[in-house]
Amino acid sequence: MIEDYLSLTLKNFSHQKKRTFLTLIGIFIGIAALVSLVSLGQGLQKSISDQFAQLGTDKIFILPGSGFFETSAKGVAITDKDLKDIRNSKGVQEVAGNIFKIGRVKVGDTLVYNNVLGTPLDQTRKVTESAFKLKVMKGRELKSGDRYAAFVGPRWAKDKDILPKGIGVGSRLEVENKTFRVVGFFESLGNPDDDSLVMIPYDTAKDLFDQPDSFDYVIAQASEGAEPAVVAEAIKKKMRGSRNLEEGEENFNVSTSEDLIQSFNAVLLIVQIIVIGIAFISLLVGGINITNTMYTSVIERTGDIGVMKAIGARNGDILALFMMEAGILGLVGGSIGIIFGVGLSQLVSLAANAAGLGFIKAFFPWYLILGALLFSFTVGAIAGIIPAMNAARLKPVDALRYE
């Protein structure tokens, strides 16, 4: 029976090639958009989650402001006193305060505005280095006694990346009009912002950016065996007490690596919902096209329906035939859309990788492909319900008399 339905369906498609193609356009554009954008979103989510996970589950991040993605202007600066309170919180092993700015960095005649990190050079620097998994690629890292030394990302060493001609160990660069000597390069961290970072001593940075008694963010390392979430709550309690704040009035943010992942995923979820909504509009248009096509098909084949009913076809057989035809239209459009969507997202990934945005990768979980196929078939079948019901209700005598 199913073979007969398929044979009749494919025969009808072959007789109406142009109409079939035009009907498929809305479905395959919608599915292509859905697959490409969702796969890129999934890949981005996976890449960012992996990077956050690399920060280490024992790290806790403290910033001004009531939310991790808010600007520090909405919060009260983290001071030396806060740093002592954090260090004295239960479960904290070590604390590193950092200055993070977008500064003017000049090499030769090339001036760029770039991320500059002022990090301590005492034993606490290991907290920052372990959080970001910094490994020396060339030269050495910053050490105690350095004043105007810079430890920079690998993009500075490449020709025609940040600079027309890359620099090496011993090269000079200016940060906020002060000359620094490059003492080393760290290995790639996987994204262009981090790979272009310029790290300088904290004491130099606080003079350079006129920030003598405050930090842009603090990294606390939990003691061995301590639960980061519990330690984070202890830090919040300590800082609330020091600042005379009630719970819920915090003008600072304390986040574990897991908190950062959840915050990012929440933002990405909103973006994906918007993207899926846009793709759904295209699918809705495609569904309407299928409905119109099926109505036309029912009218054109009214005589055939009469013949089928006259030789014993039941209403359910006619209903199943037209619903399967509509569903296959959706399935074929979805299959073409998946091929286009996969190809498009792979092209975007290749282009992003060539541009140094290696964290933008397409990810194709099996449920995305299977879900897209089932969804496209369902859209087609639903779009064909009303025309199929109209066809099934036709009386054989009326259908045979139709011209």
Count of structural domains, the chain:
2
Tell me which residue has tokens 């790979």.
Answer: 195
Please give the share of the chain, as a percent, with pLDDT higher than 90.
31
**Residues with Cβ within 8 Å of residue 107, at least 6 apart in sequence:** 156, 163, 167, 171, 172, 173, 174
Task: Note whether 119 and 219 are same-domain residues.
Answer: yes
Query: What integer pLDDT is reported at residue 297 of this predicted model?
Result: 75
Among 384, 156, 196, 399, smallest CA distance to 290 is for 384
pLDDT at site 9? 55
132 part of a folded domain: yes
326 inside domain: yes
pLDDT band at 69; cut points 50, 70, 90: low
Looking at the structure, do residues 378 and 271 belong to the same domain, yes or no? yes
Better-scored residue on pLDDT, 76 or 253: 253
> 267 and 202, same structural domain?
no
Q: Is residue 241 part of a domain?
A: no
- Please indicate, yes or no, if residue 86 is contained in any of the structural domains: no
Residue 70, pLDDT score: 55
Residue 55's pLDDT band, with cuts at 50, 70 and 90, is low
43 and 145, same domain (yes or no): no
Which residues 6+ apart lie within 8 Å of 79 measured at CB? Answer: 213, 214, 215
Do 30 and 108 belong together in one domain? no
For 292-347, write each residue's pLDDT tens digit.
877 777 777 777 777 777 777 787 877 877 788 888 888 888 899 999 999 999 99
pLDDT for the residue numbered 270: 84
Question: For the chain, what percent of residues have pLDDT higher than 70?
Answer: 88
CA distance 208 to 99: 11
Q: What share of the chain is helix, strand, coil (3-state, %, to 5)?
A: 55, 20, 25
Mean pLDDT of 259-277: 81
Structural domain includes residue 73: no
Tell me: pLDDT of 153 over 90.
yes
> Is residue 352 scored above 50 in pLDDT?
yes
Q: In the predicted model, what is the mean pLDDT of residues 123-134?
A: 84
Q: Are residues 314 and 380 in the same domain?
A: yes
- For residue 269, give its domain range: 2-52+262-401
pLDDT at position 16 is: 64
pLDDT digits (tens, 9 = 90+) for 5-47: 455 555 555 556 677 777 778 788 888 888 888 888 888 877 7
Last-in-domain residue among 194, 224, 254: 224
Query: Helix H segments across 209-354?
Result: 228-243, 257-300, 302-310, 315-354
User: Among 198, 224, 250, which residue terminates a domain?
Assistant: 224
- Using the predicted structure, report yes or no on whether residue 73 has a pLDDT greater than 50: no
Neighbours of 223 (CB within 10 A): 12
Residue 84 lies in a domain: no
pLDDT band per the 50, 70, 90 thresholds, residue 207: very high
What is the average pLDDT score of the chain? 83
**Residue 345, both tokens:** 């997202």
Same domain (yes/no): 219, 280: no
pLDDT at 7: 59
Model pTM score:
0.66
- The pLDDT value given to residue 398: 64
Maximum CA extent, the chain: 100
Report the C-alpha gap between 261 and 259 in whole angstroms: 5
Q: Is 312 part of any domain?
A: yes
pLDDT of residue 13: 56
127 and 214 belong to one structural domain = yes
> Which amino acid is it at 372?
A
Judged by average pLDDT, the poorest of 72-76, 226-230, 285-289, 312-316 is 72-76
The answer to whether 232 and 256 are in contact (CB under 8 A) is yes
Q: Tell which of 178, 194, 224 closes a domain.
A: 224
Whether 256 is in a domain gets the answer no
Tell me the average pLDDT across 394-398: 69
Mention every residue, 6+ apart, whose C-beta is less than 8 A from residue 324. 5, 6, 9, 381
Q: Is 89 exposed, middle or buried (0-12, 13-18, 19+ CB in 10 A)?
A: buried
* 305, 198: one domain: no
Are the C-beta atoms of residues 376 and 330 closer than 8 Å to each other? yes
- DSSP β-ladder status, 172-175 and 110-119: unpaired
